[in-house]
Structure 1
Amino acid sequence: MLLPLNPTHPEPRKIARAVEMLERGEIIGYPTDTVYGLGCDILNKQAIERIYQLKGMRKDKALAFICPDLSDISRYAIVENHTYRLLKRFLPGPYTFILPATREVPKYLHLKQKTVGIRVPAHPVPVALVQALGRPLISTTAAPVGEDPLVDPAEVDQRFKGLGLVLDAGGGGMVPTTVVDLSEGRVHIVRQGAGPTDELV
């Protein structure tokens, strides 16, 4: 079901409706500063498993967390001083940073590496969602594995049957985030995406 909302000033009652869905264990579609995403509550293991099924994604592929701001990251990731300075330069923005996970990260989200991918998007809608939810949102690109991201929110709604709702803020981008691994103390570009990397390396 599509729920149109203002992309720059999302209506609180519509955000509240989406959060209610998340708390009920639903998966929702929503815009970010790059592509449309699929997300669920970080605390709902069944919903996370459904995201993997919906996308046809292998269980050893990590999902990212959306945090509202930098201050929230240290709950879920170990952030050294030099890492914090780098994050501060590039977030909010079109990046996913892979960092060592803290014990706050639920065990069922731990892969062998015990790392976590962190997103702080420069977009009012996902930020409003995680602020209202009070904890991170699991996030992944709204696209089946091996396919391009879906730009039209109506396509997201049609392609992924059984979503609680799709927040429609107009057309999305086609280039996902740049993924940067900082977990071993150096900068490793895992995926070149929307965020420039010249100043990272």
Structure 2
Amino acid sequence: MNIKMPLQALRNGSLVLHPTDTVWGLSGDATRPETVELLRKTCQIPPQQGLIILLWDTSMLDRYVAKVPDLAFDLIEYAEDPLTVVFPQGKNVAENLLAPDRSIAIRVVKSGPCLDLVKSFGKPLVSTIAAISGQPIPKKSEDIAPDIRQAAQEIIPAPAGWTSGKPSRIVRLGVGGEFEFIRK
């Protein structure tokens, strides 16, 4: 897979449409407020809703989370399915990416072409399902709405054999290590 052009698009603050480790995603540079705003506008995501960032390794968590409970590493490492963890306080990302309570949702991508993309980019990607908020999750590339396609400067095709699955599980962690599943 050639990701040279998608990487350039991300560096320029544009959005990229691509298969993630779960579903079709629309992603951009999580450190650029204008990119986050473009993503929110494109997918009609309200400002009170936090967004997910994608990372490539748990060693990166300390850069983007104020305090990482030890339990987070075990949850991520041993999760059999993709898992998004909501931490109480994010940092070093665009302010308009955080939820109103300053929490941050992070998924460490473990495999697939999305891992290559985020790792090669070297910074977190803000990412959301490639659909208008509240609309069905696209199963195939052809199911993605024209408005979403047009907003993406680059589109990475799905590799042979890739199928859109279900969104990740989401767990909210407290500073003391307490947790609750938001989406199973």
Fold match (TM-score > 0.5): yes
Give matches, 1:8-23, under 5 Å.
Answer: 11=1, 14-23=2-11
Deviation, structure 1 residue 169 = 1.0
Asked if 1 retains the 8 angstrom alpha-carbon contact of 2:26 and 2:39, the reply is: yes
Q: Which runs of 5+ in 2 are unaligned?
A: none
Q: Does 1:148 align with 2:136?
A: yes
Q: How many residues align?
A: 179
CA deviation vs aligned residue, 1:41-70 (integer Å, no higher than 9, x gap): 112211211111111111111110100111
Deviation, structure 1 residue 157 = 6.6
Equivalent in 79, 91, 113 of residue 90 of structure 1: 79
Asked if 2 retains the 8 angstrom alpha-carbon contact of 1:101 and 1:114, the reply is: yes
Normalised to the residue count of structure 1, the TM-score between the two structures is: 0.80
Identity of aligned residues (%): 24
CA distance in 2, matches of 1:18, 1:148: 25
Sort the Cα spacing of 1:104 and 1:44 in 2 relative to 1 into closer, same or farther, 3 A: closer
Normalised to the residue count of structure 2, the TM-score between the two structures is: 0.87
Q: Which runs of 4+ in 1 moved over 6 A?
A: none
Which residue number in structure 2 is paired with residue 59 of structure 1?
47
Q: CA RMSD in A?
A: 2.0
CA distance in 2, matches of 1:113, 1:27: 26
Which residue number in structure 2 is paired with residue 30 of structure 1?
18
CA distance in 1, matches of 2:23, 2:146: 17
Which residue number in structure 1 is paired with residue 155 of structure 2?
166
CA distance in 2, matches of 1:43, 1:86: 25
Which residue number in structure 2 is paired with residue 191 of structure 1?
183
CA deviation vs aligned residue, 1:88-147 (integer Å, no higher than 9, x gap): 2227x4111101334323333333222110111233211111111111100111121111
Sort the Cα spacing of 1:101 and 1:143 in 2 relative to 1 into closer, same or farther, 3 A: same
Partner amino acid for 2:108? V
Sort the Cα spacing of 1:125 and 1:152 in 2 relative to 1 into closer, same or farther, 3 A: same
Q: Which runs of 5+ in 1 are unaligned?
A: 1-10, 193-201
Partner amino acid for 2:3? I
In structure 1, the residue corresponding to 2:5 is in which secondary structure?
A: helix
Q: Does 1:115 align with 2:103?
A: yes
Partner amino acid for 1:87? I
CA distance in 2, matches of 1:183, 1:125: 31
Which residue number in structure 2 is paired with residue 199 of structure 1?
none
